[in-house]
Amino acid sequence: MVGRLQRVDLRQVWAKEAKDFTTYLADHLDILSDFLGFNLSLVETEKRIGSLSIDILAEGPTGETVIIENQLEKTNHDHLGKLVTYLANIEAKKAIWIASDPRPEHKKAINWLNENTPRDTTFFLIKIRAYKIGDSEAAPFFDTICEPSSEAKEIAREKGEFAERHFKRLDFWTELLEKARGKTNLHSNVSPTKDNWSTAGAGKSGMGWSYSITMNKGSVELYIDRGPDKKDETDKIYNKILNDRERIENQFGEPLIWDKVEGRRVCRIKSICNIGGLKNEDLWNQIQEDLIDRMIRLEKALKPSLSKIK
């Protein structure tokens, strides 16, 4: 039996734009990332710029600053002005404008900006709708109205350039992986990169051990993702491990974050290091040692449960 999509009023899903929709999108940037085809990492919400505030400040796949402006209504000149103002004041490289009803004149404006601003500055205008099937929870549906026509060339060019954060990440992972090799073999075959994560396979299909670092904090996790057509398998594995939660957390030594969100493909079991992040270079040694310790404890605590997974 095949269900039928039903359009849902956006205000029934997210009553308030700032409190509800912006919060939801900040917590689910992976959904927008999957749609756009490039990774977005959350930096901050409601970032103050004078008397104004950016809905979402994020970081793109090559370390560039990305601003996201939301509207659960028709686009207007006020938000267009904000978009350009934010871009200029924080020297962002990508601007994403999400709205329920993009006006033709604003579509022309975004296309004009893509054609007349520097090649490394790009604008996206995205239409959002919400749908459900039967009694299911509503899910967001994104539709591209405008995007940079030279995006493929732009991405290739950006990949050839290293921002300051790229060098910092490369240095951070080089140091961490070198220290880790003396204590665990988990990431012994992993090379440092400019990405904000460093991942090694967990010996099971669709599962891996991952370090992550942002400007403010670091984390370690086991991620579970059997693929887009095997969400049921992913959930079953996660639930099987979840049954051992008490033993796992007792052995790990502290509570873990059990990250499974309805509608999201990937499940995670993670632990956060709050000592600092990439910006705290004077604390890198402490952060790296803490992350390695957390990774070793996480692997040991989860090992008995993973041995039961086929």
Enter the DSSP assignment of 17: I
With bands split at pLDDT 50, 70 and 90, how would you rate the model's confidence at 2?
A: low
Amino acid making up residue 161: E
Least confident of 4-13, 26-35, 93-102: 4-13
| pLDDT tops 80 at residue 13 | yes
> What range does the domain containing 217 cover?
164-306
Mean pLDDT of 91-101: 92
| pLDDT tops 90 at residue 116 | no
Q: Which CATH number does the domain housing residue 21 bear?
A: 3.40.1350.10
CB atoms within 10 A of CB 231: 16
Closest CA to 248 of 303, 307, 167: 303
Half-sphere exposure of 272 (CA within 13 A, CB side): 11
DSSP bridge partners of 201: 208
Which of 140, 159, 178 is the C-terminal boundary of a domain?
A: 159
Task: Let me know: does 220 contact 277? Beta carbons within 8 Å.
Answer: no
Query: Counting every residue, how long is the chain?
Result: 310
Strand pairing category for 218-224 and 267-273: antiparallel
Task: Let me know: does 209 contact 299? Beta carbons within 8 Å.
Answer: yes
Q: Are residues 154 and 180 in the same domain?
A: no
Q: Are residues 111 and 191 in the same domain?
A: no
DSSP bridge partners of 98: 70, 126
| pLDDT tops 70 at residue 3 | no
Q: Are residues 63 and 175 in the same domain?
A: no
The pLDDT assigned to 99 comes to: 94
The pLDDT assigned to 150 comes to: 57
- Residue 230: CB partners within 8 Å, gap ≥ 6? 206
Q: Are residues 168 and 86 in the same domain?
A: no
Q: Are residues 154 and 22 in the same domain?
A: yes
How many angstroms separate the first and last alpha carbons of the chain? 30
- Residue 82: CB partners within 8 Å, gap ≥ 6? 52, 69
Q: Are residues 53 and 144 in the same domain?
A: yes
The pLDDT assigned to 219 comes to: 96
How many structural domains does the chain have? 2
Q: Are residues 155 and 174 in the same domain?
A: no
pLDDT mean across residues, the chain: 89
- Residue 105: CB partners within 8 Å, gap ≥ 6? none
- Residue 54: CB partners within 8 Å, gap ≥ 6? 44, 46, 47, 67, 68, 69, 86, 90
Task: Let me know: does 199 contact 266? Beta carbons within 8 Å.
Answer: no
Residue scoring higher pLDDT (222 or 132): 222
CA dist 145 and 71 (Å) reads 14
- Helical ranges in 62-163 per DSSP H: 77-90, 104-116, 151-159
Q: Are residues 17 and 110 in the same domain?
A: yes
| pLDDT tops 50 at residue 153 | no
Q: Are residues 144 and 180 in the same domain?
A: no
